[in-house]
Each structure stands twice: as structure tokens, then as C-alpha cells.
Amino acid sequence: MVYILETELLENKSVYFSLTKILGVNRFQSFLICKKLGLSYNCRLSKLTPDQIVKLIKLTESLNLLLNNNLKKSNIMLAKKLIQIKAYRGIRKLRGLPVRGQRTHTNAKTASKRN
């Protein structure tokens, strides 16, 4: 198993799909990373040489993306800011209700679980 940015990546999957396991990296960004390194997107992570793995780690760290813990912290700070300024979204989030205009008569169970 390979650890990149505190995330455990499975070796039997392709590089393209394993990079999406990192919080904050989507499929498009994963595709760009593979393209910059000159890797085929269906190349397995286990077939990479240690040198290629080091390049992969350096490239993911050098990108200006919010990843893992930084992304979680920014989301929490955004929610706290919304609650602090008493925005509508912040109040709904604080009460555990749907934030984006969904109905609450029948289908608000998932929003209550999430908060």
C-alpha cells in the first residue's frame, strides 16, 4: 500500500482511480496529474517504480489544492462563519434542516443525519 498525503491508496487499482481517494482530488484533477507525469490512466499503482511514486507525491503536494485536513478545516470554518453572521444557510445548518431549499414535510431525514 502506498500512502500519499496521509491517505492509503490501494495498489491493485489504477493510478487514476486511486488518486480520487485523496479528499479534494476529483477525477479531472487525477487525470491531469497522470497526464503531467506521463502515465496511462489505466496503469496500476503497483507497477509504478519508486522513482515515479516520489514524483507523484511531489506533484500532488506542489499543486495549490485544498486537500485532506486543510479542506475539512476550511469547510468547518465556512460553516462557523455562516452561523456567526446569522445567515439563512447557517441557521438551517445549526438546526439540522436542509440548507438548499428542499422540502421538510417528508424528506428531511438525511439532512438531520448529516448535521
Give the mean model confidence (pLDDT) for residues 59-64.
87
What residue spans define the domains of the chain? 2-62, 69-114
What pLDDT, on a 0 to 100 scale, did the predictor assign at position 109?
77
Identify the band that residue 35 occupies on the pLDDT scale cut at 50, 70 and 90.
very high
Which CATH class name applies to 2-62?
mainly alpha
Res 115 pLDDT > 80: no
- The C-alpha cell at 12 is 491493485
- In the 8-state DSSP scheme, what is residue 55? H
18 vs 109, higher pLDDT: 18
CATH superfamily name and code, 69-114: Ribosomal protein S13/S18, C-terminal domain (4.10.910.10)
Give the mean model confidence (pLDDT) for residues 79-98.
93
Identify the band that residue 85 occupies on the pLDDT scale cut at 50, 70 and 90.
very high
DSSP 39-58: --TT-BGGGS-HHHHHHHHH
Residue 84 burial (CB count, 10 A): 9
Res 61 pLDDT > 90: no
